[in-house]
Structure 1
Amino acid sequence: MAKAGGGEGACLCGAVRYRVRGALSAPVACHCSQCARTSGHHAVMASCADADLDIMAGDPLRWYASSPSVKRGFCAQCGGNLFWKDAGSDVIYVTAGTLDRPTGLKLSAHIFAGSRADYYDIDDELPRSDAW
């Protein structure tokens, strides 16, 4: 389920605040080890067009290259995990937990499900894959 109106969100301390003007995709839960290390668990992200993301307040926004083509946006003040971006794409992923509520979104799938940590199970009937 996509959210037509986008939404607004922020990091934990509020120093980085953003607005999504366009539609957000239905979020996916990523169980890869990189998402686990940046979020402390699996990460749930919804995508939008890169051009539809406005950073309204973002002085402490920093980008970390987690692989040759991927960068992750986070708040240097509170450490909040905010964005995931593939350099060759015009799409950016927003961590769903940073969106102001209500989001109007529903989880749609699990990716890298075979990489999930051993302390939890995936207990729903949503589609799963071991890749992107």
Structure 2
Amino acid sequence: MHRGSCLCGAVKIAVDGDLPRPNACHCVAYRKHGGHYGASLEIPCAALRVEGEDLVGWYQSSEKVRRGFCGICGSTLFWDPIHRDWAAIAMGVFDGPTDTFLSVHIFVSEKGDYSEIADELPQNET
């Protein structure tokens, strides 16, 4: 079981099972939502439990995607592709070790000019 919360602790999550390897998304939307590139991992909705779900605010960032955040402290929590059976959880939400490591950089064509990707992981333009 992996647990986590937002900055103020009002929204808590629990994930059953092992965590998959996360990706690092450099898209403009993620950078604007979270302040920098974002690291997140995809979890089947059935494996995710959310306490304080009524405090989660949602922003519809495109026709197909909404982004979840704590309505109290503003912490970035979720990237949710509507009409799918999975959701992405921001890695910063997890408390304690996750026992996983980044797998890939995505949307590097939109990467901010202030940062460099210095690891050997694969880089996808989109």
Given the alignment, which residue of 67, 74, 81 partners 1:72?
A: 67
Percent identity over the alignment is: 40
Query: Given the alignment of the two structures, is residue 50 of structure 1 paired with residue 42 of structure 2, yes or no?
Result: no
Q: How many angstroms apart in 1 are the aligned matches of 2:58 and 2:67?
A: 5
The offset of 1:94, in angstroms, is 0.3
Q: Give the conservation status (yes or no) of the 8 Å contact 2:19–2:98.
A: no
Q: Give the conservation status (yes or no) of the 8 Å contact 1:18–1:55.
A: yes
Q: Give the conservation status (yes or no) of the 8 Å contact 2:6–2:70.
A: yes
Secondary structure of the 1:67 match is coil
Q: Which moved more, 1:27-36 or 1:83-92?
A: 83-92
The offset of 1:88, in angstroms, is 2.7
Inter-CA distance 23–91: structure 2 relative to 1 (3 Å threshold): farther
Q: Give the conservation status (yes or no) of the 8 Å contact 1:60–1:76.
A: yes
Residue aligning to 1:32: 27
Q: How many angstroms apart in 2 are the aligned matches of 1:16 and 1:34?
A: 23
The offset of 1:59, in angstroms, is 3.4
Equivalence map 1:1-132=2 (5 Å): 5=1, 7-131=2-126
Q: CA RMSD in A?
A: 1.1
Q: Give the conservation status (yes or no) of the 8 Å contact 1:26–1:106.
A: yes
Gapped regions of structure 2 (runs ≥ 5): none
Paired residue total: 126
The offset of 1:99, in angstroms, is 0.5
What TM-score results when the alignment is normalised by the length of structure 1?
A: 0.91
Secondary structure of the 1:38 match is helix
Structure 1: which 4+ aligned runs deviate by more than 6 Å? none
What TM-score results when the alignment is normalised by the length of structure 2?
A: 0.95
Q: How many angstroms apart in 2 are the aligned matches of 1:9 and 1:47?
A: 15
